Amino acid sequence: MCGIVGYAGPKPAAPLLLNGLAKLEYRGYDSAGLALLTGNHHLNIIKKAGKIGNLIAAVKAAKVPASITSGIGHTRWATHGQPTDQNAHPHMDCSGRVAVVHNGIVENYQHLKKQLQDKGHQFRSQTDSEVLAHLIEEQLKKHPWKEAVRRSLAQIQGTYSVVAVYEGEPHTLIGARSGGGALVVGWGKGETLLASDVPALLAHTRRVSYLDDNEMAVVTPTGPSFLNVLTGKPVVKKVSEIEWTAEQAEKGGYPHFMLKEIMEQPRALEDTFTSRLDPRTGSVVLEGKFWDSPFIGKFKKITLLAMGTSYYAALVGKFLLEKYLRIPVDVENASEFRYRNPILGKDTLAIVITQSGETVDTLVALREAKAKGARIATICNVMGSSATREAEGVLITRAGPEIGVASTKAFTTQLGAFWLLTLFLAGKRKTMPVSELKKKAKELSRLPQLMAGLLKQRKSLEKIAHEYAHYFNFLYIGRGIHYPIALEGALKLKEISYIHAEGYPGGEMKHGPIALIDSKMPVVAIAPKSSAVYEKMLNNMEEVKARQGRLIALVEKGDKLAAAKADAVIEIPSVSEDLSPILSVVPLQVLAYEIAKKKGREIDQPRNLAKSVTVE
């Protein structure tokens, strides 16, 4: 969703902030803006609805001098008020001396706005965020800059990451965070940066501090200092080193990040296994004390919490954990979790699965599970994110930065992580014989290579995509552990091509969805022969054919029986049933990509979507 960049240092601020915002485009946005402190310290606000290109043109037209070396930038994803120039951030106070950018929602903004209007403040936008600029203006009548911001923030209810600038102190940016949304401080040499997300910082520094709830960073070119918003007391923050490189967050010659990330999956999976999975002994090592604590041998229930693609990974995880640990596993849509008084307690291991580690629904569920006494672990792709800071046990997927809004390598590495977790726990709790652990570990370690082979099929998938891109609806069906893959395949297609697509368990067809089947309905059937319910899937495929449905079958290489039933065939290598989701999802990602490309969609930033959903 919205993105924030702030800079205080010796370099020209405008191009640096624009580059930073471009790195955050993937988060999803509909307007963008800058606040720059000009040579004579006047605040200059430039903001435009639409893509960053519009803002770049406006900055060029404004002839911003290179001597301006501090400022803030923002990409907005509209919540309150339409995506117009006026509603774009930064927002100013009445005097035009204070500017703020804000991610999140000010829940009590109507009440605060009324109070401020009664005092004579004039509002220029329909946003909730503007109240903060006016609150600061009020506080500046009585307090210096830092204290004025702190006192203003203390009046706000809701979730926020904010950065504020003031022409009275042009080289002191103030950032703060509460509830949801991230704010990262970058420690440069003679320069300090702020950003909502690490990719905006990578070109400048890899030394960062993450703000926690109710923390404020006072940022000057010589470095940041930190304090608690509620108490005003100083806070000492840890400095972490980011492992990602600036190159990893570039397209690297691919036309889209999504394609690059699809192609990176063999490497990402291999990295996720490296130093953890030993195929010779079948043992798994997970980093961190939590995984060796007595609780790991004792818990009686697992609750998996996630959203979107991560939720579908959790559905696969349930199959593995229940099958090999014989422990009950609930999978919960995180956005629903806290509203139904869920049953979990001290003997529950709650695992949140999240690529970004910043999805607010998932974080709220994490906190709810913690409040109910569960111990918390996370499968997460972003070290330092809120999920990794709030969980006791952390299993990092090593996918590297995922920029395309449609999740791909994060998903397959999440499945890899579930396998690591399953083998690790099965080894600890002795629920699998060592021979079986070794067999699975060996098979797993072969997957990256098989996946690389599978990706060579891109041409044939492109052909299928061109044949099917004009259809308006798709169904995806799968059974057992392949049902979540049907859901994920359908999600990929709808997200980036805007074609209506739904995933169903094959057995559900006759209970309703089959009414939709006719010659205008392509059905993607996930039918690997290794499946325990392969025969039943063949029956479902026959049912589709009998009603003239257009059948695209995903089958194991050489399975002539299943292939003969289909109008189009996608082949995957033969592996055991539990492992095949890691492979079967890959051609479905490519198919969605090729269809979206054929339709000329904005693949990396599909309409209405944001990479990281930081408001409820």
Active-site residue (options: 2, 260, 318, 409): 2
Cα–Cα distance for residue pair 598/593, rounded to 1 Å: 9
Residue closer to ligand M6R, measured from CB, 307 or 426: 307
Q: How far is the CB of 356 from ligand M6R (least distance, A)?
A: 3
Q: Which of residues 259-298 bind ligand M6R (CB under 6 A)?
A: none
Based on the shown chain and the rule CB under 6 A, indicate whether residue 405 belongs to the binding site for ligand M6R. Answer: yes
Among 152, 580, 612, 614, binds ligand M6R (CB under 6 A): 612
Give the list of residues 6+ apart from residue 255 with CB closer than 8 angstroms, or none: none
Short-list 496, 379, 469, 415, CA closest to 26: 496
* Span from 276-284, 308-316, 541-549, 576-584 in contact with ligand M6R (CB under 6 A): 308-316
Among 44, 127, 159, 362, binds ligand M6R (CB under 6 A): 362
Cα–Cα distance for residue pair 578/319, rounded to 1 Å: 8
Based on the shown chain and the rule CB under 6 A, indicate whether residue 406 belongs to the binding site for ligand M6R. Answer: yes
- DSSP label of 50: S
Paired with 31 in beta bridges are: 49, 76
* Span from 130-138, 400-408, 566-574, 576-584 in contact with ligand M6R (CB under 6 A): 400-408
Q: Residue for token digits 């109507």?
A: 110
Cα–Cα distance for residue pair 352/335, rounded to 1 Å: 12
Q: Where are the alpha helices (DSSP H) in 511-565?
A: 534-546, 560-564
Q: How far is the CB of 23 from ligand M6R (least distance, A)?
A: 17
Q: Is 529 a catalytic residue?
A: no
Residue closer to ligand M6R, measured from CB, 69 or 413: 413
Q: Which helix (H) or strand (E) holds 290?
A: none
DSSP string, 181-249: S--EEEE-SS-EEEESSGGGTTTT-SEEEE--TTEEEEEETTEEEEEETTT--EE----EE----TGGG
Residue nearest to ligand M6R (CB): 308
Number of residues that bind ligand M6R (CB under 6 A): 15
Residue closer to ligand M6R, measured from CB, 72 or 610: 610
- DSSP label of 578: G
Based on the shown chain and the rule CB under 6 A, indicate whether residue 308 belongs to the binding site for ligand M6R. Answer: yes
Residue closer to ligand M6R, measured from CB, 437 or 610: 610
- DSSP label of 123: P
Active-site residue (options: 48, 409, 438, 611): 611
Cα–Cα distance for residue pair 409/415, rounded to 1 Å: 10
Among 172, 303, 355, 614, binds ligand M6R (CB under 6 A): 355
Among 310, 388, 412, 540, binds ligand M6R (CB under 6 A): 310
* Span from 45-53, 176-184, 401-409, 478-486 in contact with ligand M6R (CB under 6 A): 401-409
Residue closer to ligand M6R, measured from CB, 314 or 568: 314
Token couple for 315: 């559905």
Q: How far is the CB of 129 from ligand M6R (least distance, A)?
A: 23
Q: Is 60 a catalytic residue?
A: no
Based on the shown chain and the rule CB under 6 A, indicate whether residue 356 belongs to the binding site for ligand M6R. Answer: yes
Based on the shown chain and the rule CB under 6 A, indicate whether residue 354 belongs to the binding site for ligand M6R. Answer: yes
Q: How far is the CB of 166 from ligand M6R (least distance, A)?
A: 34
Residue closer to ligand M6R, measured from CB, 380 or 570: 380
Cα–Cα distance for residue pair 594/545, rounded to 1 Å: 25
Among 30, 93, 332, 495, binds ligand M6R (CB under 6 A): 495
* Span from 169-177, 353-361, 511-519, 585-593 in contact with ligand M6R (CB under 6 A): 353-361
* Span from 356-364, 367-375, 519-527, 591-599 in contact with ligand M6R (CB under 6 A): 356-364
Q: How far is the CB of 313 from ligand M6R (least distance, A)?
A: 8
Residue closer to ligand M6R, measured from CB, 358 or 578: 358
Cα–Cα distance for residue pair 601/592, rounded to 1 Å: 11
Residue closer to ligand M6R, measured from CB, 127 or 386: 386
Residue closer to ligand M6R, measured from CB, 192 or 355: 355
Among 277, 525, 613, 615, binds ligand M6R (CB under 6 A): 613
Q: Do 522 and 544 touch, CB atoms closer than 8 A?
A: no
Q: How far is the CB of 310 from ligand M6R (least distance, A)?
A: 4
Residue closer to ligand M6R, measured from CB, 4 or 441: 4
Residue type, 377: A
Q: How far is the CB of 436 from ligand M6R (least distance, A)?
A: 30
* Span from 32-40, 240-248, 304-312, 507-515 in contact with ligand M6R (CB under 6 A): 304-312
Token couple for 28: 């999803």
Query: Interior CA angle at 128 toward 125 and 130, to 5°?
Result: 55
223's torsion region: left (phi>0), alpha (psi -120 to 50) or beta?
left
Based on the shown chain and the rule CB under 6 A, indicate whether residue 407 belongs to the binding site for ligand M6R. Answer: yes
Cα–Cα distance for residue pair 295/346, rounded to 1 Å: 10
Short-list 376, 392, 330, 381, CA closest to 358: 381
Q: Do 37 and 170 touch, CB atoms closer than 8 A?
A: yes
Based on the shown chain and the rule CB under 6 A, indicate whether residue 397 belongs to the binding site for ligand M6R. Answer: no
Based on the shown chain and the rule CB under 6 A, indicate whether residue 307 belongs to the binding site for ligand M6R. Answer: yes
Based on the shown chain and the rule CB under 6 A, indicate whether residue 22 belongs to the binding site for ligand M6R. Answer: no
Short-list 413, 356, 408, 412, CA closest to 384: 356
**306-310-316-319 Cα dihedral, nearest 10 degrees:** -20
Q: Which of residues 578-607 bind ligand M6R (CB under 6 A)?
A: none
- DSSP label of 293: S
Token couple for 328: 């009950």
Token couple for 320: 């593995």
372-409 per-residue burial string, b: 16 or more CB within 10 A, e: under 16: bebbbbbbbbbbbbbbbebbbbbbbbbbbbbbbbbbbb
Catalytic residues: 2, 611
Note the residues at the interface with ligand M6R (CB under 6 A).
Answer: 307-310, 354-356, 359, 362, 405-407, 495, 612-613
